[in-house]
Structure 1
Amino acid sequence: MVIQSQNAPGHVRSTKYLDRTRMNNALDQALDFGATYAEIRLMAETTSSVRLKDGQLEHAIPGQEIGATLRILADGAWGVHSTTDISNIPNEIESTVKLARAVAARRPSG
């Protein structure tokens, strides 16, 4: 999990952080809702866009994007939620557990 962001000079500092305690509480909440397994996977990507015209720098834009995927196993099926709004992950726990259960309910028995 990203707890703190340290960037080299000239890089954009991200203001998107994961609060470890809040995310652990969200994972515990998934178990309370009946999940047998829950995880949060974080993805961070740093990009740079540079445009030259006739050998002259027109612009250079650094960027960073952070996203997360919540994966929950309940009743033998997966519920998955992906977002770039990582602060909202705890609010998606219950609906992702319900999604996993809905997938499980659609499986043929036997």
Structure 2
Amino acid sequence: MPQAKKLVLHPSASESVNGNSADFDNVIADGPGVLYIDTTVVNGTTPTLNFVLEEKDPESGQYHDSGLTIAQIIAVGIARYEVPEVFGVIYRLAWTIGGTAGPNMTFSAVFVVKDRG
């Protein structure tokens, strides 16, 4: 019987520089995955937070945009994104922080799938 599997890509923490999660792989799911991004603090002047769910080419090791559209974050809130057809791909979540006067954001990112178990 499939069980929900939760992968914490970024625990709730403050970030002021660009970065990315560790790779997460061997995600074999029954149906789509769901990405939750919960932003709890937004500081700075005109702060922005952009995310890209990246796939890793298993041969070259290079990352490329998975094509998932993730809206730019400029305020506190939670967002939910459905990721279709999650099957054995290596992913990571990359983020870019913009703005002036010391922008920083506190956020968490969690990926949930129904594990085929």
Q: So what's the TM-score if we normalise by structure 1? A: 0.33
Q: Which has the higher contact order (CA 8 A, sep 6+)?
A: 2
Name whichever structure is richer in strand by fraction: 2
Tell which structure's C-alpha radius of gyration is larger: 1
Report the TM-score, using the length of structure 2 for normalisation: 0.31
